[in-house]
Chain A
Amino acid sequence: MALEPRLAAYIATRMPHASDIVVEDLSRISGGASRETYRFRLTWAQDGARQDRKLILRRDPPASLIDTERRIEFEAYRAFRGSAVPVPEMLWLEEESEALDHPFFIAEEIAGFQASPQMLFGPPYVAILPKLGERKWTILAEIAKADPAAIGLADVMPGVAADACWDRELSYWEGVLDDDESQPLPIIRAAIRWLRANPPPPAQKVGVVHGDYRTGNFLYDDAGAIHGILDWEMAHLGDPLEDLGWSLNPVWSFGTGIAGGLLPRAEAIAIWERASGLKADPAALHWWELFNCVKGQAIWVSSARAWLDGGNREPIMVYPPWALQNAQDRAALKVMGRL
Chain B
Amino acid sequence: MTPAVPAVLAEIAGLALRNAMPDVHPADRASSLGLSAALLGMAAEVWDGTAARLVEENRAVRALLARAGEVGLDFAELAVGDDADLRISSLQAANDALRAALIALQTAAEAKSPTLDADIWAELVASTERRKMAASPV
B89–chain A nearest beta-carbon distance, Å: 13
> Would B99 and A316 count as touching, CB distance under 8 A?
no
Chain B nearest Cβ from A174, distance in angstroms: 13
**Bound CA–CA A339/B125 (angstroms):** 7
Residues of chain B with a CB closer than 8 A to A97's CB: none
Task: Report the nearest A residue to B102, measured CB to CB.
Answer: A186
Bound form: Cα–Cα A178–B38 in Å: 29
- Residue A51 at the B interface, CB < 8 A? no
A187 to B127, CA, bound (A): 10
B137 lies within 8 A of A318 (CB): no
Residue of A nearest to B110 (CB): A193
A125 at the interface (CB under 8 A from B): no
| Cβ contacts under 8 Å, B8 to chain A | 318, 322
Chain B residues within 8 Å of A326, by CB? 128, 131-133, 136
Specify which chain B residues have a CB less than 8 angstroms from the CB of A334 in the assembled complex. Answer: 138
Chain A 301-317, CB-CB to B under 8 Å as 1, else 0, gives 00010011000011110
Per-residue CB proximity of B39-75 to A under 8 Å, as 1/0?
Answer: 1001000000000000000000000000000000000
A323 lies within 8 A of B124 (CB): no
A28 partner, pick from B2, B31, B128, beta carbons under 8 A: B31
Give the docked Cα–Cα distance between A186 and B15 (Å).
Answer: 34
Determine the chain A residues whose CB is within 8 A of the CB of B106 once the complex forms: 186, 190
- Residues of chain A within 8 A (CB-CB) of B80 are none
Contact B1 A189 (CB under 8 A): no
Please tell me if the beta carbons of B110 and A28 are within 8 angstroms of each other in the complex. no
Partner of B102, one of A184, A321, A322: A184
B30 within 8 A of A: yes
A170–B107 CA distance with the chains assembled, in angstroms: 18
CB nearest to A329 among chain B residues: B128
Query: How far, in Å, is B39 (CB) from chain A's closest CB?
Result: 6
Instruction: Tell me the residues in window 117-138 of chain B with beta carbons closer than 8 Å to chain A beta carbons.
Output: 120-121, 124-125, 128, 131-133, 135-138
Q: A315-B12, A338-B121 are in contact. Are A254 and B137 (CB under 8 A)?
A: yes
B25 touches A (CB below 8 Å): yes
Tell me if A87 is interfacial: C-beta within 8 Å of chain B.
Answer: no
- A13: B residues at CB distance < 8 A: none
Pair A330/B132 contact, Cβ less than 8 Å: yes
Query: Residues of B with Cβ closer than 8 Å to A?
Result: 1-3, 8, 11-12, 15, 25-28, 30-32, 34-36, 38-39, 42, 92, 95-96, 99-100, 102-103, 106-107, 110, 120-121, 124-125, 128, 131-133, 135-138
On chain A, the residues within 8 Å of B99 by CB distance are 183-184, 186
- Bound state CA distance, A328 and B136, in angstroms? 10
Closest beta carbon of chain A to B49's beta carbon, Å:
13
Chain A residues near B3 (CB-CB < 8 A): 304, 307-308, 318, 321
Beta-carbon contact of A319 and B38 below 8 Å: yes
CB distance from A1 to the nearest CB of B (A): 15
Interface assignment of A253: CB less than 8 Å from any CB of chain B? yes
By a CB distance below 8 angstroms, the chain A residues around B120 are: 186
- B136 adjacent to A315 (CB under 8 Å): no
Q: A30-B34, A183-B2, A315-B35 are in contact. Are A253 and B100 (CB under 8 A)?
A: no
**Per a CB cutoff under 8 Å, which of B25, B28, B137 touches A327?**
B137
- Additional pairs, 8, CB under 8 Å, beyond known A325-B1, A326-B131, A327-B133: A183-B92, A187-B128, A189-B103, A314-B35, A318-B11, A322-B39, A326-B132, A326-B136
| In the bound complex, CA of A110 to CA of B121 (Å) | 47
Which chain A residues border B102 with CB–CB below 8 Å? 184, 186
A–B complex contacts, Cβ < 8 Å, 19 sampled: A28-B31, A30-B27, A30-B35, A184-B100, A189-B107, A190-B124, A251-B137, A251-B138, A252-B137, A255-B135, A315-B12, A321-B2, A323-B38, A323-B135, A325-B1, A327-B136, A330-B128, A333-B128, A339-B125
A255 near B137 (CB under 8 angstroms)?
A: yes
